Copies of this chain bind each other. A is one copy, B any other.
């Protein structure tokens, strides 16, 4: 029996497109806004500032330990909104699907998106589906674009970082990058690695309690922790020192990355947040984060200094310090 597959006509805008919407997307989104079948969604927004962010997801493989491209596509945009100091409200979803992709896989991915969005309190309000010929895409690419209402006051900004501020990361780093690398290369480790792919909406809610003490938040995805910290140093015009022994890395990731000769500081994370916080609020925030599920391994990993401007220093376990640069080149394409 041949499996149902996506055809070019599913992207035609005609009858098969309607069928895909009514049989796959609408039952999953289960959302009166989306059901209106207009060219777009009509939304009510509370007064005030909003955040808007977009990401396309091209990860390979599409299904991986700890998630799939659907879950990832929701978490990624939720986390970017949280990093903007916003409560995620609405999201659009746009699919580019390779002709011949299994309809059952699409349904699995869509179900995963729906469940992740529901847990994060996000409504999926409008969508688009394009189908391209076999060989013109690699299985499926998903764009999600989200808007949320800004609750951070003042708005997060690297310009608000001050010397003396403390750097917190919300948990172990490197898991997502290593899990994808291991799956692609068929590597087997004693402790299997799982992506940390998670929605960080709860971290956003915790941060709301700390007002102006929170200077900025960023999720260290592509380029990893080292790259995000470098962006913050550059954009603040200050220096950030990380202490190597304080950076939380699971024993499994530590062992596997050492064996492979890759640096977990540059590996992508999909369920972690870097938070720069005023020193006097750091301990209290850390305790609050450690009480919450996606951030129970949160740790203070460094602090902000006036000099050397725009640079990141890594204090090694031996007490020496070296410059930690931004990611150069690309060691793991299509990680998200």
Contacts and interface: CB of A to CB of B under 8 A. Distances in A.
Interface of A: 7-9, 11-18, 36-45, 47, 49-58, 80-81, 83-84, 86, 90, 92-96, 125-128, 130-133, 135-138, 141, 143, 145-147, 150, 155-158, 218-219, 221-223, 227, 231, 235, 268, 326-330, 333-334
Q: Which secondary structure dominates chain A's binding surface?
A: mixed
A74 to B, nearest CB: 14
Given A37-B158, A56-B94, 5 more contacts: A12-B333, A43-B51, A44-B49, A56-B143, A136-B334
Contacts of A36: 157
B39 A128 contact: no
Contacts of A55: 94, 128
Given A39-B80, A40-B80, A136-B138, A128 B16 contact: no
Interface hub of A39, A83, A219 (most chain B Cβ within 10 A):
A39
Nearest to A139: B136
A85 to B, nearest CB: 8
- How many protomers of this protein does the assembly include? 2
A1 B222 CA distance: 32
A37 B129 CA distance: 29
Given A56-B94, A147-B52, A42 B155 contact: yes
Interface hub of A15, A58, A81, A145 (most chain B Cβ within 10 A):
A145
Given A55-B128, A329-B14, A150 B84 contact: no
Contact of A14 (B96, B141, B223): B223
A12 B329 contact: yes
A46 to B, nearest CB: 9
A149 B242 CA distance: 44
Nearest to A235: B37
A43 B145 CA distance: 14
A80 B47 CA distance: 24
A166 to B, nearest CB: 20
Contacts of A47: 47
Given A127-B54, A329-B9, A39 B218 contact: yes
